[in-house]
Amino acid sequence: MGLTSRKVLALAVLLAVLLFVATVWLWPRLARRTPRAVLGRVGLLFATQLALFAAVGLAANKSFLFYGSWADLFGQEQGLGSVVDHGAGGANMTVLETRKPPVPGGGRPSVSGRLQKIVISGPASGIDSTAYVYLPPEYFRPQFERRHFPATVVLTGYPGVADNLLKGLNYPATAWQLAQEGKVQPMVLVMLRPTVAPPRDTECVDIPGGPRTETFFAEDLPRVISKTYRVGSGPRHWGIIGNSTGGYCALKVALHHPDRYAAGAGLSAYYKAAEDPTTGDLFHGKQDLRHRADLLWSLDHLPRGRTSLLVTSSRKGEGNLAATQAFIGKVKAPAHVSSIILDSGGHNFNTWRREIPPALEWLSGRLSAE
């Protein structure tokens, strides 16, 4: 049974309940001060606490998907698969597995699409990162065999895992449903976490002497995907969206690279690179790099490109409302800004699930196929 399965969670809850009942039932018999009774009380309390902790942990993991499998939890993910394509200039992509996507259709690609877990090897950045690629049903239909589809990069927060985007935030299922309803055009989704140099949170910055994360997202990823799949290579074919840290990265990459991305959406984003123990020294004393990682500063001081930006917040429950309003006020032509401001919401999956459908519609309206 998988780490995120309902059966595992139900068994953990049942075990915790049974141990609680056993503790209450047996406590009078263990009330004596003999060593055996004391050890019995300690054992029951320890087992009950452990079972309760496991149940709560499994429930939290099922909701937020910090770990997607037992192997992921215990650090036992191994090995790469077969090489599918080597693009020009050293751009590589490796397919680890192909699976049925979490959408209706019985596993038929022309109905449900296809999901692949891949490794992207970036020649410019030197970074290798895993990702999921969702190919929509239209990708496999004869009438679309010559079409180059638009693509959207989808980013988790930190320290999230890409499985969050499949199960917790339901990106493929949402995109599939919206396409069925005619609200979005078919898009290829490239889903991964912004932590492409784990465990370090690089804030999508090119760190002097360190990981070149911004280069990976701005140059390597679009180039590799466009050379491997039927995806357009121009900025009008590419969008990027994320939540929390991923939202900051999406806005940052779209704002600084309008020649690569026509649109970027930040859900519950912040607007300045974090600097804390998880990031380490991002800028090595270079104030120009620190300024560039501040999106409000960038809007005031750097040339503006022709890109579309979407930001989200809530009037009650989120801490980024003032910064979001400041960001909106600083965006000037030829850039364009849109927003989703909820009456109430928090920094959580439930809020983002309410924002993802309109955000995907917004992105679809700003991208094009060829």
- Assess whether 240 and 131 both reside in one domain: yes
List the CATH number of the domain containing 347: 3.40.50.1820
- Spatial CA neighbour of 8 closest among 64, 69, 99: 69
Cis peptide before 208 (omega within 30 of 0): no
- % of the chain residues with pLDDT over 90: 65
Residue 140 lies in a domain: yes
Same-domain pairing of 34 and 149 = no
Is the residue at 369 inside a domain? Answer: no
In this predicted model, what pLDDT tens digit does every residue of 354-365 receive, in sequence order?
Answer: 999 999 999 999
What distance in Å separates the CA atoms of residue 107 and residue 322, rounded to the nearest whole number?
45
- List pLDDT tens digits, range 90-104: 448 889 999 899 998
* Helix spans in the chain (H): 6-26, 35-64, 70-73, 109-112, 163, 171-180, 213-215, 221-228, 245-256, 287-292, 295-301, 321-330, 349-364
Residue numbers of the domain that contains 144: 80-364
The reply to whether 65 and 117 lie within a common domain is no
Whole-number average pLDDT of the chain? 88
Q: Which residue has the tokens 């709560």?
A: 56
Do 227 and 89 sit in the same domain of this protein?
Answer: yes
What is the pTM for the complete model shown?
0.79
For residues 204 and 136, state if they share a domain: yes
Task: Work out the angle between the directed axes of helices 6-26 and 35-64 (0-180°, nearest 10).
Answer: 160
User: Does the pLDDT at position 78 exceed 50?
Assistant: no
In a domain, 370, yes or no: no
- Is residue 157 assigned to a domain? yes
- Same domain for 54 and 84, yes or no, is no
